Structure 1
Amino acid sequence: MIWLDIIGVGEAGLSDLNADQKDRILAAQHIIAPDRLIAALDDMTLNAELITWPRPFRQIYDVLEAWRGKPTVILATGDPLWYGAGSSLVTRIPSDEMRIEPAPSGFQLAASRMGWPMAHLHAMTLHGRPLEMIRAAIMPSARLLILADSAATPAQVAEQLVAIGAGTAAMAALAHIDGDAETRVDGRATDWAKKPPQVADFHVLAVACPDIMPGFYPSVPGLPDDAYDSDGKLTKSDIRAITLARLKPVSGQLLWDLGCGSGSIGIEWMRAAADARAIGVEQRADRLAVAEANAIKLGVPKWAGVKGENLPLAAELDCPDAVFIGGGLSVDLAELVMSRLKSGGRLVVNAVTLESEAILLQLHQHHGGRLIRIAVSHADPVGPYYGWRSAMPVTQWVLEKGLGEKELEEKGLGEKETDR
């Protein structure tokens, strides 16, 4: 039974709603609405309890649980499922108990004003999120639509663009889109970084990155080594690219980077797939601080570092979808990791010492998987000529955890009683 309606509302307010939506508002026992709609709702003859958005937002879950089964309406801005309230509510309330009806989103309206096809741009939000997230999205010719956090967002984004070498980026701040008070302010990142524009707190920021950005960092793994601050504990660029390819970054999945050093594996895991998560484990606080700074610089401020030893933390952390062991290898650690790894998960271990290689040989004999030797050489000057200089070879063990019987049955791949 549907008891919860989440209705998207545009800039024009309640006048944009259809008759059926207004009837549901009138019949509701409880209504949650943004401040801008409260006055209009007060003008209606309501029998409902009317409240504004709870602060902090997480309080809404307890509120809705208390109202469960009673006619309830939530009025949201634009599309509730595009960085709106609906995005989190759908994870907590069964779909057969709720109805979501979107209005055109601010992103869609901004794209129409800019003349940008939605399929060819990157929409993101900085509302209540770390500003540094923008760094991972800044690429040559990229078109970005950003839901601003406040009136300060254009200048803050401009500063990030200038710092990355995209100061010529064209920017536009669009507010009150599709309403009588619609405004647009245009400028360049270099100018806005020095003199912030006057804009409304709630707006969409459009950014057209320059076509040429020398030295930009792509989203594919294998960033240059000098992209990272490091004391030398760093998986080198070529090995890193191969390692990430075998870890297989997937949107929303969790990676453990055990013995994370400068954090490069987890950072590039997160850059390679939207909403991917990574936890880096490191014994040394100084290295962990460097890794956290690298994550911020490279646009993944949600990278999480944990100080401690691999073995006890591997027993406590949330179960991972992929694990990289770059330091502190032992048979006990590998066995524990495999037991915690989700079905379908990937384990990659790199070794450069003979002692660690011996452990990989033992694990390969017991568990299978792939054992690979990787040797990389670079051309370096030798007097007036060039010659090949070899890096230390890396032995890599790769294991993909198979699906268990339960997972096979859920996917329709397992043997059924009737098949026997």
Structure 2
Amino acid sequence: MVHVISLGVGERALLSDPAQDALRRADLIIGSERQLHTVASYPSQGRTAPLPSPFSRLQELLSRDSGQEIVLLASGDALFFGVGNWLNRNFPPSQLRFYPQISSVQAACHEVGLDEHDMQVISLHGRPFASLRAQLRNRRRYALLTDQHSHPQAIAQALQAWGMRDSTLWVCEQLGYPEQRIRKFSVAELLASPPDVHALHVTLLQTAGPGGVLPEFPGMADQDFHTDGEPGKGMLSKREVRLCILSLLQPCAEDIGWDVGAGCGGVAVEWARWNPRGQVYAIERHEERLRQLQRNREHFGVVRNLHVVAGRAPDALADLPRPSVVFIGGSDGEMDTLLRHCWEQLPPGGRLVASAVTEDSKSRLQQFQAHIQDGDAEWTQIAVSRGETLAGQLLMRPQLPVTLVKFSKRTFSS
């Protein structure tokens, strides 16, 4: 049995009676030097071992001594952005027992006096700093778990650039230790005089400012995308069409999606931004479009769940995880092959949406509909006109109509 004892925050752990009993009966106690020091005052007879790195070595250690009573020490709350998630993925519940303590976020909120219930926690530890762009909203509260790349000054610089210059930050260092320090900063103060900050800290954030830089709602402006043409033009699905495509796809949390012929990434980026728990694979073969797709991935901060795949489909699809939803926006003359291949990859209940502008593409979609026996089709045509000024007068200029077809794979044969 592995007893996972959360230590909370502070120089000395305040253990519950069950946690003390587990520590006293342990044959092996695993923890870092600092963690072992926090429980040194509690009686125990077990031998100690340093926390190994990487975690694969920890798995070997825990598995090798599985017949013993093992205590694994965990900073803060093991089940809150801690080791608990990794343990639950690698060991059955019958081999684990968890002992709770408060997290660093909970301690920080109590020190500052901010409610926890409406605070979103974002971990930047070991994650790309650009991912923060996809998660921040104006006039919201956040707790940021950071590393050396996401220090308070870097956060302030980002807030300034993203239209949130009136934000307030609380930097909470060495919580629970005699050296504990809580400081409140404005963005301007952090930019003018960057403070020295202890590595052991949590940053609380109240965003505020004029905004207008990062999108807050689906339907991102075309001109905000980098393209292979003029701003808002080029190989990019326009906003109205993009939203209709996503409404037909109906992506869910944990979905794996393919955007085949992704162009500059209009659909893929918006898809990934508003479904952060899904994984989107954008497949594109044209070099310049790929470059713009990568730029948009960074610009909108969807670096954690949007994966750019360079290559021509269907060959480029061979090593990808099987999808539950697929969008075909470009086929390079391979529409028939792509439809059949993607349909075969979908599970029952999966959705495939394809777009067509030419009569030839529409005809191929009709032929595919007639071919499949295990799916249903829904046809939509979108014709958008946008206002322009000509000789001082309003002119509604029509865009090319786009036909969208949603193929839904039945969950049973009929």
> Partner of 2:383 in structure 1?
375
| 1:255 alignment partner, one of 254, 257, 260 | 257
8 Å CA contact 1:138, 1:161 repeated in 2: no
Matched, 1:365 2:370: yes
Tell me how far 1:344 sits from its aligned partner.
2.5
CA spacing shift, 1:190–1:289, aligned 2, 3 Å: farther
Tell which deviates more after alignment, 40-49 or 372-381.
Answer: 40-49
8 Å CA contact 1:380, 1:386 repeated in 2: yes
CA deviation map 1:250-287 (0-9, x unaligned): 22222111111212222222211232211111112332
8 Å CA contact 1:259, 1:326 repeated in 2: yes
**1:154-193 mapped onto 2 (5 Å cutoff):** 154-193=152-191
| 2:220 alignment partner, one of 207, 219, 223 | 223
Provide the C-alpha distance between the structure 2 equivalents of 1:195 and 1:335, rounded to a whole number of angstroms. Answer: 60
> Aligned letter for 1:297?
H
Provide the C-alpha distance between the structure 1 equivalents of 2:399 and 2:251, rounded to a whole number of angstroms. Answer: 26
Provide the C-alpha distance between the structure 2 equivalents of 1:163 and 1:211, rounded to a whole number of angstroms. Answer: 11
CA spacing shift, 1:111–1:345, aligned 2, 3 Å: farther
Tell me how far 1:17 sits from its aligned partner.
0.5
Gaps of 5+ in 1: 406-420
| 2:349 alignment partner, one of 338, 344, 353 | 344
> Aligned letter for 1:36?
R
Provide the C-alpha distance between the structure 2 equivalents of 1:121 and 1:40, rounded to a whole number of angstroms. Answer: 29
Tell me how far 1:310 sits from its aligned partner.
1.2
Aligned to 1:119, the other structure's residue is in SS state coil
CA deviation map 1:19-71 (0-9, x unaligned): 32122123223322233123345666655443333323343333333233432
CA spacing shift, 1:124–1:35, aligned 2, 3 Å: farther
> Aligned letter for 1:353?
T
8 Å CA contact 2:159, 2:167 repeated in 1: yes
Matched, 1:388 2:412: no
> Partner of 2:231 in structure 1?
none
CA spacing shift, 1:122–1:313, aligned 2, 3 Å: same
Q: How large is the RMSD of aligned CA atoms in angstroms?
A: 2.2
8 Å CA contact 1:185, 1:197 repeated in 2: no
Provide the C-alpha distance between the structure 2 equivalents of 1:288 and 1:59, rounded to a whole number of angstroms. Answer: 38
Provide the C-alpha distance between the structure 2 equivalents of 1:117 and 1:273, rounded to a whole number of angstroms. Answer: 26
8 Å CA contact 2:74, 2:83 repeated in 1: yes
8 Å CA contact 1:249, 1:272 repeated in 2: no
> Aligned letter for 2:117?
A
8 Å CA contact 1:172, 1:187 repeated in 2: yes
CA spacing shift, 1:15–1:308, aligned 2, 3 Å: closer
Matched, 1:312 2:315: yes
Matched, 1:104 2:112: no
CA spacing shift, 1:16–1:288, aligned 2, 3 Å: same
8 Å CA contact 1:6, 1:98 repeated in 2: yes
Aligned to 2:226, the other structure's residue is in SS state coil
Tell me how far 1:129 sits from its aligned partner.
0.7
Identity among equivalent pairs (%): 27
Provide the C-alpha distance between the structure 2 equivalents of 1:404 and 1:192, rounded to a whole number of angstroms. Answer: 59
8 Å CA contact 2:9, 2:107 repeated in 1: no
Provide the C-alpha distance between the structure 1 equivalents of 2:383 and 2:214, rounded to a whole number of angstroms. Answer: 27
| 1:324 alignment partner, one of 323, 327, 330 | 327
> Partner of 1:131 in structure 2?
129
**1:19-418 mapped onto 2 (5 Å cutoff):** 19-41=17-39, 46-150=44-148, 153-210=151-208, 212-218=210-216, 220-231=217-228, 232-302=234-304, 303-328=306-331, 329-367=334-372, 368-403=376-411
Provide the C-alpha distance between the structure 2 equivalents of 1:141 and 1:345, rounded to a whole number of angstroms. Answer: 37
Aligned to 2:22, the other structure's residue is in SS state helix
Gaps of 5+ in 2: 229-233
CA spacing shift, 1:151–1:320, aligned 2, 3 Å: closer
Provide the C-alpha distance between the structure 1 equivalents of 2:47 and 2:344, rounded to a whole number of angstroms. Answer: 50
Provide the C-alpha distance between the structure 1 equivalents of 2:110 and 2:407, rounded to a whole number of angstroms. Answer: 47
Tell which deviates more after alignment, 207-216 or 311-320.
Answer: 207-216
CA deviation map 1:151-187 (0-9, x unaligned): 8611111111111121221111112234433211211
8 Å CA contact 1:152, 1:196 repeated in 2: no
Tell which deviates more after alignment, 33-42 or 274-283.
Answer: 33-42
Provide the C-alpha distance between the structure 2 equivalents of 1:23 and 1:402, rounded to a whole number of angstroms. Answer: 54
Aligned to 1:369, the other structure's residue is in SS state strand
8 Å CA contact 1:148, 1:202 repeated in 2: no
Provide the C-alpha distance between the structure 2 equivalents of 1:289 and 1:58, rounded to a whole number of angstroms. Answer: 36
CA spacing shift, 1:31–1:353, aligned 2, 3 Å: farther
> Aligned letter for 2:200?
F
CA spacing shift, 1:359–1:62, aligned 2, 3 Å: farther
Provide the C-alpha distance between the structure 2 equivalents of 1:6 and 1:85, rounded to a whole number of angstroms. Answer: 9
8 Å CA contact 2:13, 2:39 repeated in 1: no
Tell me how far 1:311 sits from its aligned partner.
0.6
CA deviation map 1:84-113 (0-9, x unaligned): 111122122111221122211122222333
Tell which deviates more after alignment, 243-252 or 199-208.
Answer: 243-252
> Aligned letter for 2:314?
L
CA spacing shift, 1:226–1:102, aligned 2, 3 Å: farther
Provide the C-alpha distance between the structure 1 equivalents of 2:279 and 2:110, rounded to a whole number of angstroms. Answer: 33
Tell which deviates more after alignment, 168-177 or 284-293.
Answer: 284-293
> Aligned letter for 2:152?
P
8 Å CA contact 2:35, 2:75 repeated in 1: no
Tell me how far 1:13 sits from its aligned partner.
5.0
8 Å CA contact 2:140, 2:207 repeated in 1: yes
Tell me how far 1:148 sits from its aligned partner.
1.4
